[in-house]
Structure formats: structure tokens, C-alpha cells
Amino acid sequence: MENSQRQILRSLPPMDELLENEWLFPYYQELGRVTVKEILSELMSVIRKNVIEGKVKTVTMSYIRTGAETILESRRKTSLQKVVNATGVVVHTNLGRSCLASAAVEAVKEVASGYSTLEYNLEKGKRGQRNEHVEWLLCQVTGAEAALVVNNNAGAVMLCLAALARNREVIVSRGELVEIGGSFRVPEIMAFSGSQLVEVGATNRTHLRDYEGALTDNTVMFLKVHPSNFRIQGFFSDVPREDLALSAHDKGLIFMEDLGSGILVDVGNLGLSGEPTVRDCVRSGVDLVTFSGDKMLGGPQIGGIVGRKTIIDKLRNYPLLRALRVDKMTLAAFEATLRIYLKGQWREIPTLNMLSLTMVQMKNKASSLARRLKQIIPGAEIRVLEVEDAVGGGAFPATTLRGYGIGIKKHPWGSSGRLQSSLRSGDIPVIAGAGDDSVVIHVRTLVKGDDKLLLEAFSSLPVRGDE
């Protein structure tokens, strides 16, 4: 080490002295003194290392302060925070999928801030079952005999396979061995559950004779999986549910379907057709249907399992259920969401509401926002334009929804990418789309109050030129 380096190290302020700096005081309030001290001591060891390696030639207090404030600021901000979804993707998996209806939000507040009947039967004055709060409602809106809920749909599939098909063979079409975003892969979930996957048919075509030809004494189930985020076009066929159900029942097997983004109402009149509802599956003879609560259904994250009572009863006492059980806030939100369906008022559910917006409604919204944006960003090129939105969440992947948006060009914040990134770093981050050379605000996915937040986000952007 050179003399100059030794000198810099010696001149670094000792921790006690550092902690007396007034600019740290607000952080003591928010993070606690112990945490602030830990962060500083980590920072100082990095600085020391950089000095020794010759990467840093002078260390001033303002250098230390800048480094410390960057880390402290990032720790001070709430991590899971609200954002404005201006992407036009309705069930946006990275942005929390579905927004809850206001009745569901109220139900969560009530149950979260006090005690509740989560596992208490008021009539008997004794222990009750948490599943009972939603079971009859789920049966009511799907036509099933029995229902059970778990943490999410991946958990639902896992529970069914583990409880019913452990060490037994489950027959699945090769066209349905899908991976659904992140980490849900049908073959892997099956392996984890201890069931044995028997693949039949070809990627694009599977026939009933393929399923029946694979039967052995150890077969317990036919499993149908919704292909979710992909579609095969052209020379394609699969086996109708009714035929699989008849064949399964004839041979004493269970017919299960992982429906993915379960829908409870026919959305054909929203321009979204070709997908069965959970009720359709039950009616076609599927014994067990599993689906997500927070995709097209528009509720909280939950996994629904509906179907035949004798089979669901076997799941109720399976130990894995305890590890997948649903929290009270989720149950409250789910019950309230199902009650909206019961009343037939599903347009109150934000996910379905966003999907049922008309072109006129969206154009009006875009025009009014564009007018106000022009006042905030004088000189920029701001246009109302037709955009392509998406359902998201693996539902209706081949359907593009026509929507409206606002394209912003020639603004004072440099490139589109730079503007998108600045919008993400505001107090309430705005996640915007991009089109040729412009940043695009899709209006379909804006929720109540987002207009105002958007305008505030633009007003508070630091103005700078192209760098």
C-alpha cells in the first residue's frame, strides 16, 4: 500500500463521528439507529476496500454522504408499492394480476383489523371450518357439488395429484404438457406430487384411443390442462371433455381439468369467446376442476377446486392441505367477490369491467387525459391513438383487444426509454407502454384515481434534455 492510501484510510471518520451527522437523523426515525449504523459500516468497508485497491483516490464527507443516501433512500421506500398500470395488459402477472372490487377491499379491511369467524361456528359456539365461508358460494356459481380453496391454482393441482394419484399413473395429452410463466410446469408439478405422468398423443393431435390405449391397472386419472399462454393453429385436435368424461367414468377413473384462468361467466359478448366457464366443465362431466382466483375471475390469489363431493372429501383431510391453507384476508376478499357474481353484477369486478369497456368510453378517456397532458408538457407531440391491449394471465393469448391510448413524442425527457424509466422512478411509479418512438399510456387498465396520479407523475418529472 502506498503512503497516500494509508493517509486516506487514516482520515476516514470513525463511526461515532459519522453517526452524529444531521442528515442521518430522518433515517433514524424511519429505519432505526441500529439499521442505519449497519448500513454505514458496510458502506465504509466497501470504501476502505476501494481505497486499498486504488479505485478511489479521495474520500470526502460528501462522497460518503452520497453513497449512504443512495442506500438509505432505497431502504426507506416501501418495497411493495402501488403503481399505475398503463400497459393495457389487464391481468398483468408482474403487477399483481387482478385489482379487487371495492366490496372485496372493504371485506378485507374489516376482517384484517379485528377478530372474525375464520374458524368459528357461531350457532354451535365451537370450532368451524375456514373453507365453509366460500364452499356453498362456489357451488352456487359453478353448479358443482362440493368445493375447496387453497393458496393458489398451482397448489390446487399439486394437492389433487398428491392426494389422489400418488404412485399412480395419470394420463395427459402431449399437447397439454405446458409451462405457464415462471415456474409452473405440468411434468414437474406431477413429479413433485409423486404421480406418474403418462404422455399420450402428439403435440398437435390427441385422440380418445390414445388415452384408452395407455390404460394400465395402475391408471387413476385423465388430466386435461388448459394450454393458457399458447395456441396451436392449423392441424390440431384434442378430445372433447364429454368423451373423456364418459370414458373415464366407464373405467372407474377420475377426470380432472386444470382450467388455469377460470371464468365464471360467459364473456362471449365481450368479444372473448371459445373458452369454457367452470360451470361448462362441471356440466361436461369433469370430476375436479381447478382454477385461479386472481386471473379472469378478478378476485384475490386463491386456487379453487370444485367438483364431485366424494372426491373433494378425500382432499379435505389430506395433510398437504394444511400447508396450502388460505389466509383470512384472502377468504374475505374471495367471499365478497363471489357474492358479486351471485348477484349477477360481475361488471363491478375491475378485471371484467376493464375487459368490457367500449371503444367510445376508452376514446373519451384518452382524449380528456391527452388534453390535460398537453397543458403539462407544452411542445410535446401528444396524440390519441388506437392501441392493442391484452387480457394477460395466460387467458385468450390469441386475442388482441382493441383499445385507446395516448402516444407521447418529442417531449423534453430524451428518448422513450428514458421517459419510461423516469416514470418508473416517481413517487407513484407509472408503468407505460411504448410504440414507434413514443411512450404510450393505455387507458384501459387505469383504475379510479390513476388519471390524477398520472398527471402528477408527469408534472413532477425533472426536465432535462437529451443526454
Taking the complex as a whole, how short is the minimal distance between the CB of residue 186 and ligand PLP, in angstroms? Answer: 8
SS3 content of the chain, % helix, strand, coil (to 5): 45, 20, 35
330 touches ligand PLP by CB under 6 A: no
- Where does this chain touch ligand PLP (CB under 6 A) — which range of 107-115, 223-231, 345-353, 435-443? 223-231
* Per-residue interface string for the shown chain with ligand PLP, residues 99-138, x marking contact by CB under 6 A: ----------------------------------------
Beta bridge partners of 48: none
**Could you tell me the sign of the dihedral formed by the alpha carbons of 168, 169, 172, 174, in that order?**
positive
Taking the complex as a whole, how short is the minimal distance between the CB of residue 290 and ligand PLP, in angstroms? Answer: 7
Cβ(274)–Cβ(393) below 8 Å: no
276 touches ligand PLP by CB under 6 A: no
CA 12 to CA 59: how far, in whole Å? 8
Cβ(86)–Cβ(431) below 8 Å: yes
Cell numbers given for 84: 399505475
Cβ(429)–Cβ(81) below 8 Å: yes
**Pick 259 or 401: Cβ nearer ligand PLP:** 259
Determine the size of the site formed for ligand PLP (CB under 6 A).
Answer: 14
Query: Is residue 23 exposed (0-12), middle (13-18) or buried (19+ Cβ within 10 Å)?
Result: exposed
**Pick 131 or 229: Cβ nearer ligand PLP:** 229
* Per-residue interface string for the shown chain with ligand PLP, residues 404-443, x marking contact by CB under 6 A: ----------------------------------------
228 touches ligand PLP by CB under 6 A: yes
3-state secondary structure of 254: strand
- Could you count the other beta carbons within 10 Å of the beta carbon of residue 224? 21
Based on its alpha-carbon atoms, the radius of gyration of the chain, rounded to whole angstroms, reads 28
- Where does this chain touch ligand PLP (CB under 6 A) — which range of 55-63, 256-264, 344-352, 357-365? 256-264
258 touches ligand PLP by CB under 6 A: yes
Taking the complex as a whole, how short is the minimal distance between the CB of residue 226 and ligand PLP, in angstroms? Answer: 4
Taking the complex as a whole, how short is the minimal distance between the CB of residue 390 and ligand PLP, in angstroms? Answer: 15
Q: Which residue number is nearest to ligand PLP in terms of Cβ?
A: 260
- Where does this chain touch ligand PLP (CB under 6 A) — which range of 6-14, 225-233, 377-385, 449-457? 225-233
Cell numbers given for 359: 371503444
Measure Cα distances from 27 to 12, 36, 45, 58, 425 in Å.
Answer: 22, 7, 20, 26, 20
298-317 residues in contact with ligand PLP (CB under 6 A) are: 303
Cβ(165)–Cβ(193) below 8 Å: yes
219: Cα within 13 Å, side-chain hemisphere: 21
Query: Is residue 70 exposed (0-12), middle (13-18) or buried (19+ Cβ within 10 Å)?
Result: exposed
* Torsion angle of C-alpha atoms 95, 97, 103, 109, degrees rounded to 10: -50
- Out of 201, 300, 392, 394, which residue is the one contacting ligand PLP (CB under 6 A)? 394
Q: What angle do CA 464, 82, 329 make, to 5 degrees?
A: 175
- Where does this chain touch ligand PLP (CB under 6 A) — which range of 127-135, 146-154, 231-239, 311-319? 146-154
168-187 residues in contact with ligand PLP (CB under 6 A) are: 180, 184
260 touches ligand PLP by CB under 6 A: yes
226 touches ligand PLP by CB under 6 A: yes
- Where does this chain touch ligand PLP (CB under 6 A) — which range of 129-137, 224-232, 338-346, 423-431? 224-232
**Pick 157 or 441: Cβ nearer ligand PLP:** 157
Site residues (CB under 6 A) for ligand PLP?
Answer: 152-154, 180, 184, 225-226, 228, 258, 260-261, 292, 303, 394
